[in-house]
Structure 1
Amino acid sequence: MTARWYFDFVSPFSYLHWQKMRPLVDAGRVEAVPIVFGAVLHALGQRGPAEIPKKRGFIYRQALWQAGREGVRLRFPPAHPFNPLPALRLCVAAGATTTAIDAIFDGIWGEGQALDTAESLAGIAASLGIADPAAALADPAVKDRLRAGTDAALAAGVFGVPTLDLDGELLWGNDSHDLMLAALEDPALLREGALAGVDALPVGIERRR
């Protein structure tokens, strides 16, 4: 089974879900793939949750509530949404290892730092063995790898983060983790019985745009 976990550092739910996904990535059962969530939204012609005022307030409260329930420290950065490209590129430059993902997520959502520039990421970069973060973030090869990950997510049909792609079946959200684990243990779960074929349900009415 091919299992890819798509995430963006801009998402507090990606941070919360990472706490559960890290052991699966460490064990080699899942590949963690950083992507640009904003590019996904643009391709789909959608606004992000934090771009809808009332939804923005709700998701922030929901993230804090989930963090408290799960015993995870969550501190919002100084502003949100923020530009996640520098953090994403640093992650890619460092090989998207669990150590790199941990360090960046912890800095943004564990400590509430604004890690949106090469300068602000310098300390984490040094800890990851990257002496010149500005050069790493500007490296065309790094940009291409991040773009390739995002393109792969779009090709798979990803519409939000975090998303686990199990051989083409998409499972979205921190609160879907139990279903993800069940599907990882039993791949037939999504292809047989009550969960099979629901995506083929006919559309009864379409909203006019």
Structure 2
Amino acid sequence: MHPSKALKHITFYFDFISPYAYLAFEQLPKALLGLSCEVHYKPVLFAAMLKHYGQLGPAEIAPKRDWTYRQVSWLAHTHNIALDMPSTHPFNPLPLLRLALAASPADSDGCCNRYVAETIFRHVWQGGLEAFDPQRLQALSAQFERSDLRHEDAKIELKKNTQEAIDKGVFGVPAICVDDKLFWGLDALPMLRECLQNKDWFEGQEWEKSVQVGKGVKRTQT
């Protein structure tokens, strides 16, 4: 089999709280068009990553929050993706992340299928409504067949997914892993595509050389 035709296994780590994860999710099929890939969609808790690395989220820094919302609205316009900011953001995504896993089979290894992820993403990022309006949540849950027994399993799987991502060096969402390589963010999709097309750059010296820069001044907390 020609190397470019070999099936590639991709893991897409995401949290419904992230508009960039939503945009990348919508753009991913286009980025992978014509390539032989299998995508595994894994929900993770972005807040746990922020805690692990000692960071604030974009929405927790007032000027960055404003910029983020403006930029994602522009990116959605540029890529022709429907996006309406929910009436409040950020929000607690745990129930949505657990719902995605509870709606998936017990043998899904912490993954959900694209339909489940798409339905929940669009619940949040289309329409401009409150993501946690009780009636909307009830209607969303009713779209999926799931066992109540999966609720506790989903909690465990979400923690496992998040720790797995951190162990792989994932620091934010969306993050896409293929083989031993990590790609972060919507703007990394063209880079991901080139990697999947077996471009020499990704197997050459530049991939590792780029991260061998010595550490300079280290900022200390006062």
Same fold (TM > 0.5): yes
What is the match of residue 167 of structure 2? 155
* AA partner of residue 130 (structure 2): A
The 1:187–1:122 alpha-carbon spacing in structure 2 relative to 1, beyond 3 Å, is farther
Q: Give yes or no for the alignment of 1:113 onto 2:122.
A: no
Q: Give yes or no for the alignment of 1:17 onto 2:24.
A: yes
Secondary structure of 2:136's match?
coil
- Which of 195, 198, 207 pairs up with 1:195? 207
Aligned-partner Cα distance in 2 for 1:113–1:90: 19
1:76–1:109: 8 Å Cα contact kept in structure 2? yes
Aligned-partner Cα distance in 2 for 1:161–1:155: 14
What is the match of residue 84 of structure 1? 93
2:10–2:37: 8 Å Cα contact kept in structure 1? no
Deviation of 1:207 after TM superposition, in Å, equals 1.8
What is the match of residue 184 of structure 1? 196
Deviations 1:34-91 (A, max 9, x none): 0000011011111001101111111111100100000011101111101111111111
What is the match of residue 55 of structure 1? 64
Question: How many residues are matched?
Answer: 204
What is the match of residue 142 of structure 1? 154
Deviation of 1:195 after TM superposition, in Å, equals 3.3
What is the match of residue 14 of structure 2? 7
- Which of 79, 97, 115 pairs up with 1:70? 79
Q: Larger helix proportion, structure 1 or 2?
A: 1
Aligned-partner Cα distance in 2 for 1:42–1:200: 26
Aligned-partner Cα distance in 2 for 1:101–1:188: 33
* Structure showing greater Rg: 2
Deviations 1:7-43 (A, max 9, x none): 000000111010122575xx75221110000011011
Gaps in structure 2 of 5+ consecutive residues = 1-7, 105-111
- Which of 131, 155, 165 pairs up with 2:177? 165
Aligned-partner Cα distance in 1 for 2:208–2:28: 25
Secondary structure of 2:20's match?
helix
* AA partner of residue 115 (structure 1): A
Identity %: 33
Cα RMSD for the two superposed structures? 2.2
Deviation of 1:117 after TM superposition, in Å, equals 6.7
Aligned-partner Cα distance in 2 for 1:192–1:97: 34
2:9–2:37: 8 Å Cα contact kept in structure 1? no
Secondary structure of 1:141's match?
helix
What is the match of residue 32 of structure 1? 41
- Which of 113, 119, 123 pairs up with 1:97? 113
1:5–1:31: 8 Å Cα contact kept in structure 2? yes
TM-score normalised over the length of structure 2: 0.83
Aligned-partner Cα distance in 1 for 2:76–2:149: 32
Deviation of 1:118 after TM superposition, in Å, equals 6.5
What is the match of residue 218 of structure 2? 206
